[in-house]
Amino acid sequence: MERNLVKTANQTRFLKENKILFSGLIYLVILLIINIFILSFNSHAIDPTLSVTFDRNEFDYNFYSVDVVNTSERYNWAKLTVKTNAPAGYTTTISANSDETALKHIDNAISTKISSITSPIAHDDWIPKNTWAYQLENQNNYMPIPKESEPKALVATNKASDSVQNENNFRVVVRASTDLMPGIYRSSLVLSTVINPFETAAYLTTGDNFQAKLSELTTDKTKIKLIRRASALPAASTNVININDPAKPFYEIKAWWDPVLRHLFFYTTADKIYFHEDSKNTFKDLSELNLIDLDSFDAKYAKDMSYMFAGLRSYQNIKTENLNAQSVTNMRGIFRDNQRMSDISMAGFNTENVTDMSEMFAGNYEIIGLDLSAMNTKNVKTMKGMFKGINKLGVLKISNFDTSNVTDMSEMFSGMSKVINIMLDNFNTGNVENMSEMFKDCSVIKLLDLSHFNTAKVTNMHSMFSGANELKTLKISNFDTSKVTDMAYMFYQVHGITDLRLDNFNTENVTTMEGMFAEMKGIVDIFIINFKTPKLTNVSRMFQRVNPSSNTIRQGEDNLKHIYAKNDFDVSNITAEGSKLIFDKRRNLRGGNNSFMYTPADAGKEWLRIGRAPGIKGYFTKL
């Protein structure tokens, strides 16, 4: 209910009269004056509206003699209702109308008064005698009446409430006593409601919707060469569409296509444009795009930037240092397949909340410089394929990475065919579960020191070093493989190693070793001393040496002579399908007691044992 309306420049004042009455032997009236100040301002693009109502004209409290003797409490509820379209919501404060917060007798000669409580009091306790306080609904405490110079927030919101009004219930509570002189006591409460300041910012639509909008402007969006901000709208005859978030229409963003220049222009009166929370795919596959005017954009509210800049095959340098990606959690494939980018710097790009960096730089064939020194990876959980297919970079410096929360490193360096040094000094792999294809096709790297790797949680090592053709030194003596189930093709085509010692390997949970040591041209001796295989089902091509394009093996490409073991394999669970071509083309391999077959391809799973006497043939040699 709105009453006694008085308007001044930008204030609307409501007068609320509130009375407290003593009845019986002592008669007492307390008059309260409650003021509400509504402060408003205008923006050149938004005209904020603010509606405030208060459902009471007065508080009436009747204290009878028995109440005074019993020092009873009295309270009344009031409802403050606010509606506003202001983007940042509103704040309502409460205070006395001076720094004197007590209810004082109208006769100045009477010094007794009803004082404010001095500190919060639990709402299920009594407030002290001769005091008053207020309480917001759902709060647990009675609160002191604030001074005029120190108002306190009663209600604070952070978004518009024009579609559904915001209701706030609060109460004023008073407790009297026999010490109180009869008469009228008076004070005022001031409630001030103000629109919260908001910036002149526009909000871009979702990434997928942005792509759809591009298709409304041009039949072939891959032809866009440049996305830039215009200083004014085009001629009225131009096809102009909105690309702002329809849920936040405070500032429109207009866009249009210039087919001659092959430029996409955008225009807004806002100072800044925020990328949408869901910005995945925003610029994806704009294959001829070579420049985006990112100076106007801010990624403060973006959470998903997956594939946002992926497939920009003509772009050479994406400047992301000012994007403010502080809230982003998903950067999956964000720079994937940008085939002309030769240098990427992540300096100034905030990644502290990112959990998904899978495929982040994958497919960037031309990268020769990658500055990740300032990159924060403390919350990342997956780095799957992060650097996959970067085939010109020689040195990858990532010793600063915090990988303590990473669970998936599969394919992380796969296809880095020119890398000779991956700096993994400080890698924490204690939570990693998947290392499949981690170093697959790192074809020229010669040394991998993984002696500090903690692999206690790893279950998948499928093709972990497959295709690392020139790898000569592999330090994995500390590997804990007790949880690994898949070792298929783990050392496939690792040609540079001649002596492979896996004495520490625990294989009790492994189910497949298919192709594990296949196509190792240079291998001479394999030590599988402690292998136990109670769950093994597949050993097809485990030690195979064959050129897929030919039935012949060139001289010097079949060097395996010995497989050293302490025990025979448990082959009880190995299937017929899983026992094909185990030793195919390994003509130089000899087991204990000089065991071998003239046609190694015919040696079945029963040859996975130590050869030791006539009639007990096997391709393993007792150590």
According to the model, what pLDDT value does residue 153 have?
A: 93
Residue 235 within any structural domain of the chain = no
**Residue ranges, the chain, pLDDT below 50:** 1-44
Residue 414 within any structural domain of the chain = no
According to the model, what pLDDT value does residue 332 have?
A: 98
Neighbours of 252 (CB within 10 A): 15
Q: Among the three residues 152, 168, 195, which one is the final residue of a domain in this structure?
A: 195
Is 424 in contact with 451 (CB distance < 8 Å)?
Answer: no
User: Rounded to 5 degrees, what angle do the CA atoms 426, 428, 432 make?
Assistant: 145
According to the model, what pLDDT value does residue 15 have?
A: 32
Q: How many CA atoms lie within 13 A of 189 on its CB side?
A: 26
**Environment class of 6 (CB within 10 Å of its CB; exposed 0-12, middle 13-18, buried 19+):** exposed
3-state DSSP helix/strand/coil % of the chain, to nearest 5: 5, 30, 65
> From start to end of 111-164, where are the E strands?
113-116, 121-122, 131-136, 141-142, 152-156
d(CA 549, CA 407): 38
Is 20 in contact with 185 (CB distance < 8 Å)?
Answer: yes
pTM score of the predicted model: 0.75
Which letter does DSSP use for residue 613 in this model? Answer: B
According to the model, what pLDDT value does residue 162 have?
A: 63
d(CA 531, CA 508): 8
According to the model, what pLDDT value does residue 320 have?
A: 81
* CA-closest candidate to residue 497, choices 470, 531, 528, 516: 470
Q: What is the DSSP string of 534-555?
A: TT--B-TTTT----TT-S---T
According to the model, what pLDDT value does residue 323 have?
A: 85
Q: Which amino acid is at 427?
A: F
Residue 273 within any structural domain of the chain = no
Which tokens in the block code for residue 105? 């007798």
All residues at 6 or more sequence positions from 20 whose CB lies less than 8 Å from its CB, including other chains: 28, 29, 30, 32, 59, 60, 61, 62, 63, 74, 174, 176, 185
Strands 369-371 vs 226-229: parallel, antiparallel or unpaired: unpaired
* CA-closest candidate to residue 366, choices 396, 348, 382, 389: 389
pLDDT in tens, 286-296: 999 999 999 99
Number of domains in the chain: 2
d(CA 569, CA 620): 10
pLDDT in tens, 193-235: 888 887 888 999 999 999 999 999 999 999 999 999 999 999 9
* CA-closest candidate to residue 536, choices 512, 517, 514: 512
According to the model, what pLDDT value does residue 344 have?
A: 81
Residue 127 within any structural domain of the chain = yes
Residue 249 within any structural domain of the chain = no
Q: Among the three residues 160, 195, 230, which one is the final residue of a domain in this structure?
A: 195
Residue 95 within any structural domain of the chain = yes
Q: Among the three residues 170, 195, 220, which one is the final residue of a domain in this structure?
A: 195
Q: Which amino acid is at 293?
A: D
Q: Which amino acid is at 282?
A: T
Residue 131 within any structural domain of the chain = yes
Residue 228 within any structural domain of the chain = no
d(CA 400, CA 376): 9
Provide the residue range defining the domain that includes 462.
Answer: 429-623
